[in-house]
Each structure stands twice: as structure tokens, then as C-alpha cells.
Amino acid sequence: MIASIQVFYEGNVQGVGFRYSVRQIAKGFDITGAVRNLRDGRVELLATGEEDEVRAFLDAIGQSELRAHIKKHSEAPLPNPPAFRGFEIRHD
């Protein structure tokens, strides 16, 4: 079953290579999506793929060195996910 999810990460998640590390982790999973910094200091992650693959990807982020930078995160399903080719860092 295909799942699409939006995750917001809070903490010391900007200026520490967070987006680049997430993109590197994503290369190990069969998912598409994007990660970007938000003006309020959070990082937004969008991911689409098989539900177990998306969950494994999110677990890998939580178990990586990035966990030291994450104070809080929230997840919500994406009912109408944008179409992505691969996994990208967005600068918008």
C-alpha cells in the first residue's frame, strides 16, 4: 500500500547538514519526496512510497546521528502528495 507523509522536525535542525543527511539516508530506500528548511526554524519532510518503506526511512532518520538535533517531530498523512522524481532538497 502506498503511503505519503509530511513530517515536521523541530530542534537544532537548520545549519547542521540536516537536509543533506536526510537525502543521503533516502538513497537507501525506495521512496520519493523532498526535504526543505522552513522560515520558522523547522524542517519539512515529504515522503511517498510503500508504507513499510516510508516507515523504515523515518525510523532510519530517527536512529541516525540526526536524532541529537531533533527535539520534536510531528507526522501527518498527505492525501494529495506532489509528484516527485527521486528525493530532493528543496530551496523554496
Positions marked catalytic: 19, 37
- Cα–Cα dist 25/69, whole Å: 16
| Element containing residue 68 per DSSP (H, E) | none
Query: Cell for 87?
Result: 528525493
CA distances from 28 to 11, 17, 32, 57 (A): 25, 18, 11, 8
